[in-house]
Chain A
Amino acid sequence: MTIAGGAAVERPVAQAPRAELREVSKRFGATQALASVSFELLAGEVHALVGENGAGKSTLVKILAGLYPPDSGLVLLDGQPQQIHGAAQARDFGIAVVHQEPSLFPDLSIAENVFLGHQPVGRAGSIDWRGMRRAAQALFDELGVRLDVASPVRGLSMADQQLIEIARALSFDAKVLVLDEPTASLSTHEVDQLFVIARQARAKGVGVLFVNHRLEEVFELSDRVTVLRDGRHVITAPSIGLTPRDLIRHMVGRDVTMFPKVAATPGDVLLEVDGLSRAGEFEDVSFAVRAGEILGFAGLVGAGRTEVARVLFGVERPDRGVVRLGGRPVSFESPAAAIQGGIAYVPEDRHQEGLVLDFSVAENISLPIIARLFPRLFVGRRAEARVAGEFSAELNVRPAGVERIVSGLSGGNQQKVVIAKWLATKPQVLILDEPTRGIDVAAKAEVHRIIGTLAAEGLAIMLISSDLSEVLAMADRIIVMHEGRISAELSSAEATEEKVMVAATGQQAGGA
């Protein structure tokens, strides 16, 4: 079952892979999401697709689902090259995708959700409601699931919603079933149920593509595994011949880029978090950050790192736990209070939360400190330009000129404006959430230099990043989160990519 480039061509059509990507590439701006990736999904196999965040898994899934056209390369279905335009056409080709977040219509019944877009039609073209309910019931019976198909979806558990998505996928005789991290929000029992269903589909000759972060599940369910890294195909192999350690090595095995790091002696503890919890997001999170220290936060997407940051910054309220700032318990009701208290937060999504794109550099930088800068009614543009100029020069925002509208700047320079804006608040604690996502290599190095300098100046820095090499190179200590809990705390001396990945994927640390 090894994959050789030419083999598929000679194979008779009847035995052709259910779906095949041949040297598919896809680029988004400066990011090469997929670089000449070839991949086969056979009939009657469960094929796991693994890789770090940003490795290209979701791009591959979206190309198969018809949501993105490939820039180059071919998509073959049952041996025929096809162009898939949109989700509806993917369905016509027999490709069913169960996305990580169920996308159901909460006010429609379960049966309607299952058959949406291909409702059974009675005479005179009207919907055959009874037939639809019966067919939906039959599907769920087959899956061994007890659900009232006439009741609305609203209020159902995540697991039930996933099952409805799967029933929906199976309702049109899918030949390819893509499960995109379906177990992220399921309990053990529900995962078992899902596996039974996936195996049933496999037995019927469906090609099942199983995208997952949980390695133990990959080994339990899949026949073969494909590893992607940085948009490239690393290996496809039968899972039986692999160990979790092999997989992790394949997932992270790139050269570590060197980052300029400024040596700093950590000072007093500035921020102390004890037993912080917020239902459904994170549980019992405790850590401390010292002045001059960079505390890295590693973990997979959805591990709860951003959620912790948002609570610390007063955007959301915790259910339990204590936060101490400079030894004093604090509880911030709003970002304004957190800013006042000396916390700054560079959010994950620059465009959504970081910047007012219509505003100039100066107007963006002054926004969080506008009341401090102008205690009286009027805004002084000269004073504003002076403060903004000082910080944007310090961070080397280019092109210079604080009157420029930020929507015209490059991503890297926009990010520098966001950081400048938060530095202008003169914080003690700086939370950086994915500070280098989507910016080019040169700007990235510059942001790293800035982070190092800020720590050396005595700021306590929380660095949340899904870029493992970045966390490893920058952080003095690393907290690894897995499904809302801290799964490891490592010093920079003992941390390796393997150890972090093991903790991030919820593996036992013993073997690593």
Chain B
Amino acid sequence: MGRLVTAIGRQRELSLVLVMVVLGGFVATQAPQFLSASNLKQVAVLAAIIAIAAVGEALVVITRNVDLSVESTIGLVAFVVANVLRIHALSAPAAVAFGIGLGLLLGIINGAIVTVLRVPAIVATLGTLSIYRGVDFLLAGGHQVTVGDLPDGYTDWATATVLGVPDFVWLAAIVVVVTGIGLHQTRFGRQVYAVGSNPDAAAVAGLRNRVVVFTVFALCGLLAGVAGVLWGIEFGSINATAANGVVLQVVAAVVVGGVAIFGGSGSVVGAALGAVFLGFISNALTLLNLSQFWLEAIYGAVILAAVAADAVIVRRIQASLAEQRAR
């Protein structure tokens, strides 16, 4: 069933692109600056950061779990890296590695709470969402690291391009390709889909479900750590509220990208495209001078539409399969 949904998800990926082209044409006529190179780069860089986090989230969602703590991980990593650089504790590359390692650690904590303490993921990560943010506040103590505190040239990476495409976009593309290959061509990827699709059958087949779930949480934390580092580079000035509310965008990207919220199917390409789609909508609404209220409401509406479409499609397929079998 999930495969069929995935096949339709592929069409979803196509239709996302189509909708973006049509909407883009419309927005360009209303607000010509939309197609300017600087605006497109801006949209692409932000979408790339969300896409990297969404890829990690997609892994977790495929196993029938969810990680709500990603935005706190992004915020905490962004602040810690910036602060380490401010006090000259580490060189820039070491600080980046440190940030990614911190993300991995936070993901490992999530994974341990879910698989060892057996707390349902939604509760566990709701808890760590607050805890990680709390740690962030504790460390930042109301201060803010500004661009001036950072080493010279550190934030230049946000605007660097190769072949006219921002480095962040290349990086996101690499993450998507590597994770996509990992999901579809490796033993681990197969286990991720098996556990998400039918945990009981996976356990009887000798799979270690909890190891699989633990690993996807760790990977999700790692990718959130990467996103956190990029966030710090992109924004330069970081305080304790960095990336506040971003989890909505990340989960929305995953769902809009066709990853079944009940697990077992979906692709990281879809999740990344979902991130691009949402970034695009957000930018278009801003350029069209719509209020923040509309932005939030439209995000919500898009998520609902995507999940409702999933449910309808799955029910249709089930009905038609049942009919075929009865014949």
Contact = CB atoms under 8 A, between A and B. Distances in A.
Interface stretch (B44-52, B85-93, B194-202, B286-294): B194-202
Contact of A368 (B188, B189, B206, B324): B206
B1 interface: yes
Contacts of A405: 3-4
B118 interface: no
Given A335-B206, A353-B204, A356-B197, A379 B1 contact: no
A399 B200 CA distance: 26
Interface string B163-196: 0000000000000000000000111111101100
Nearest to B325: A410
Contacts, number: 87
Interface stretch (A159-167, A172-180, A256-264, A370-378): A370-378
Interface stretch (A48-56, A357-365, A483-491): A357-365
Given A356-B201, A405-B4, A407-B1, A367 B194 contact: yes
Contact of B187 (A360, A377, A411): A377
B321 A315 contact: no
A356 B202 contact: yes
B301 interface: no
Q: A313, A360, A370, A405 — which one has the most chain B CB atoms within 10 A of its CB? A: A370
B326 A29 contact: yes
A434 B193 CA distance: 27
Contacts of B190: 363, 367, 370, 379
Contacts of B201: 352-356, 367
Contact of A356 (B4, B189, B198, B324): B198
Given A352-B200, A358-B265, A379 B4 contact: no
A379 B182 CA distance: 10
B24 interface: no
Interface in B275-297: none
Contact of A355 (B185, B191, B198, B326): B198
Contact of A334 (B193, B200, B206): B206
Contacts of B205: 335, 367-368, 421
A339 interface: yes
A411 B322 CA distance: 12
Size range of the interface on B?
A: 20 to 34
B2 interface: yes
Contacts of A368: 205-206
A408 interface: yes
B225 interface: no
Interface in A273-323: 313, 315
B28 to A, nearest CB: 41
Given A353-B204, A359-B197, A367-B205, A378 B326 contact: no
B264 interface: yes
B315 interface: no
Q: B187, B194, B204, B265 — which one has the most chain A CB atoms within 10 A of its CB? A: B204
Interface residues of A, number: 35
A377 B185 CA distance: 8
Contact of B204 (A340, A347, A370, A378): A347
Contact of B325 (A29, A315, A336): A29
Contact of B208 (A313, A334, A352, A359): A334
Q: B185, B190, B193, B264 — which one has the most chain A CB atoms within 10 A of its CB? A: B190
A345 interface: yes
Nearest to A335: B206
Q: A336, A338, A356, A371 — which one has the most chain B CB atoms within 10 A of its CB? A: A356
B84 interface: no
A345 B187 contact: no
A357 B186 CA distance: 20
Interface in B295-327: 321, 324-326
B203 interface: yes
Contacts of A356: 193-194, 197-198, 201-202
Given A358-B197, A367-B205, A378 B185 contact: yes
Nearest to A371: B187
B204 A359 contact: no
B147 interface: no
A359 B187 contact: no
Contacts of A370: 187, 190-191
B202 A367 contact: yes
B109 interface: no
B207 interface: yes
A313 B206 CA distance: 10
Nearest to A384: B190
A336 B200 CA distance: 13
Nearest to A375: B187
Contact of B200 (A313, A339, A353, A378): A353
B186 A377 contact: yes
Interface string A395-432: 00000000001011011000000000100000000000
B213 to A, nearest CB: 15
B204 A335 contact: yes
A357 B194 CA distance: 10
A29 B322 CA distance: 10
Given A371-B187, A378-B186, A358 B204 contact: no
B191 A358 contact: no
Q: A315, A354, A359, A377 — which one has the most chain B CB atoms within 10 A of its CB? A: A359
Interface in A333-349: 334-336, 338-340, 345, 347
A406 to B, nearest CB: 10
Contacts of B324: 408
Contact of A359 (B188, B193, B203, B325): B193
B185 A379 contact: yes
Contacts of A355: 198, 201
Contacts of B4: 405
A29 B327 CA distance: 9
A29 B1 CA distance: 20
Nearest to B2: A358
Interface of A: 29, 313, 315, 334-336, 338-340, 345, 347, 352-360, 363, 367-368, 370-371, 374, 377-379, 405, 407-408, 410-411, 421
A-B pairs, 3 with minimum CB distance: A336-B206, A358-B2, A367-B205
25 contacts: A29-B326, A315-B203, A334-B206, A336-B207, A336-B208, A339-B206, A352-B198, A354-B204, A355-B201, A356-B197, A356-B201, A356-B202, A358-B2, A358-B3, A358-B264, A359-B3, A360-B3, A367-B202, A367-B205, A371-B187, A378-B187, A379-B185, A379-B186, A405-B3, A410-B325
Given A336-B208, A339-B206, 13 more contacts: A313-B204, A336-B207, A352-B201, A353-B200, A356-B194, A358-B264, A363-B194, A367-B205, A368-B206, A370-B187, A371-B187, A378-B187, A408-B324
